[in-house]
Amino acid sequence: MPTVTYICPDGELEEVEVPVGTSIMKAAVSHGIESIVGDCGGSASCATCHVYVESHLEKLPPKSSNEDEMLGDAASEVLPNSRLGCQLVMRDDLASLVVRVAPEQW
């Protein structure tokens, strides 16, 4: 199964198996990575699953205008590699994805 490595704000690394078709927000919440919050459950409504993508950036699907706009007011600084974890759904070619979790989510 593909894995995602989450670099948590406290510096700890968490490697999690993420089934194809599951969002990296959902996988993080299921595994107790508390620095990813995901209040709205994955409908891109809350911007509490903000991550900085550290690998495979070029392979990711482009941001929808909704995702882009929601990120506009995320609690942490928005960078060019900022994404909402709920909109990043695991695919085979995204295996070994590395994301850094934004330090503040709400």
Partner 1 sequence: MTSENQTALGGRLVVVGGGTAGAEVAFASRSAGWTGEIIVLSDEAYAPYHRPPLSKDLLKMDAVFADPDPLKGAPLYAKKNIELRLDSRVDGIDATARTLSMNANHSLSYDRLVLAVGGRARQLPLIAQLETRPTNVHELRTLDDCARLRSCFQTGRVLMIVGAGYIGLEVAAAAVKAGQRVILLEAAPRVLARVTAPVVSQFFEREHAKRGVEILTSTTIDNLSFGADGRVDRVATSDGAEYQVDNLVVGVGLEPNIELANDAGLEIGNGIVVDDSMRTSDPNILALGDCVDFHSGFYDRRVRIESVANAVEHARRAAITLTGGDPKPWQVPWFWSNQYEHSLKIVGLSTGYDETRVIDDSAGTSFAVEYLRDGRLIAVDAINHAAAFQSGKRRIVETIHA
Write out the residues near partner 1 by the rule CB under 8 A. 29-32, 34, 39-41, 43-46, 65-66, 69-70, 72-73, 106
Shortest Cβ distance from residue 66 to partner 1 (Å)?
Answer: 5
**Residue closer to partner 1, measured from CB, 45 or 96:** 45
**Residue closer to partner 1, measured from CB, 43 or 93:** 43
Among 47, 59, 54, 65, residue whose Cα is nearest residue 94: 59
Shortest Cβ distance from residue 77 to partner 1 (Å)?
Answer: 15
- Cα separation of 38 and 106, whole Å? 10
Rg (CA), the chain: 12
Shortest Cβ distance from residue 80 to partner 1 (Å)?
Answer: 18
Query: For 1-106, where are the E strands, in sequence order?
Result: 3-7, 13-17, 50-53, 82-84, 97-101
**Residue closer to partner 1, measured from CB, 3 or 55:** 3
